[in-house]
Amino acid sequence: MDLRLEEMRDERPGLSAELQSRAFRTPWTDKRVQYVVYKGGNQVAILFFDLCVCDGLVLYELFVAKEYRRRGIGTALIREAEVVASSRGYSQLVLRPRPLEDGLSCEQLVRWYRARGFTPSVDRPDLLRKEVHCAPPSKDSEI
């Protein structure tokens, strides 16, 4: 799938109302990396990560705009998230599954992630993890 990730830095210029309203709830921190996702010329999703001094890159938020759901974009963004993790030197993706809207229960969300290779963390059962193919170390350990 042809998706383009554009990193947002000091501001979030020109986000669609839906994505802006979702992104607005997520405060900036110096450890948070934020992407807006384009398919063709359309903004279809946001994808936020938290950098961590550990093996896992935290997938903090995955949100696909309503009109683009159930077309495989969320699944494709898990693959993109793996590329981001790998390119930053992380060996895992880590997340806490929590539905951000009504219409998808926590159980359905956990099933959705598990079908995409995530498994419950042994030490933290509230977290899901997925191993990613790891690039040579270049971890943002000081960020």
Ligand X SMILES: CC(C)(COP(=O)(O)OP(=O)(O)OC[C@H]1O[C@@H](n2cnc3c(N)ncnc32)[C@H](O)[C@@H]1OP(=O)(O)O)[C@@H](O)C(=O)NCCC(=O)NCCS
Which residues of the chain form contacts with ligand X (CB under 6 A)? 62-64, 69-75, 95, 97-101, 103-104, 108-109, 112
User: Least CB distance from residue 57 to ligand X, whole Å?
Assistant: 14
Q: Please say which residue, 94 or 139, places its beta carbon nearer to ligand X.
A: 94
Of 73 and 81, which has the nearer Cβ to ligand X?
A: 73
Q: Quick one: 45 or 132, whose CB is closer to ligand X?
A: 45
Smallest gap from residue 141 Cβ to ligand X (A)? 25
Task: Name the residue number minimizing CB distance to ligand X.
Answer: 74
Q: Answer for the pair 37, 45: CB distance below 8 angstroms, yes or no.
A: yes
